């Protein structure tokens, strides 16, 4: 998240590898959602958070992260509507 030189690509790779090893745990999906939270108006993050919540062992913070993402997009929509 802090390195503009491409560390997010490395993080993505390791989170994907962890999903291959243990696909029932949702934590890597939550982290991917956080990693891609600002791309495509949050659509990528929404996918990862929902996927995380559907796992056998969901990561509980994904629900709150998803709510925050929806609030952020609602506020963005309201600002656009006012303009």
Question: 70: which residues sit within 8 A by CB, 6+ positions away?
Answer: none
Distance CA 24, CA 30 (A): 13
pLDDT computed for residue 64 by the predictor: 97
pLDDT digits (tens, 9 = 90+) for 5-56: 667 888 899 999 999 999 999 999 999 999 988 788 889 999 999 999 999 9
Give, as one character, the DSSP assignment of residue 25: B
Task: Specify the pLDDT at position 52.
Answer: 97
Spatial neighbors of 56 by CB under 8 A, at least 6 apart, are 24, 25
The SS3 assignment for 57 reads strand
């Amino acid at each position: 998240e802090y390195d503009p030189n491409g560390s997010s690509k490395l993080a993505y790779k390791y989170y994907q590898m962890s999903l291959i090893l243990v696909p029932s745990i949702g934590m890597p999906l939550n982290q991917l959602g956080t990693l891609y939270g600002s791309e495509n108006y949050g659509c990528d993050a929404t996918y990862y958070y929902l996927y995380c919540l559907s796992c056998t062992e969901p990561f509980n913070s994904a629900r709150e992260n998803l709510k925050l993402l929806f609030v952020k997009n609602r506020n963005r929509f309201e600002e656009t509507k006012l303009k």
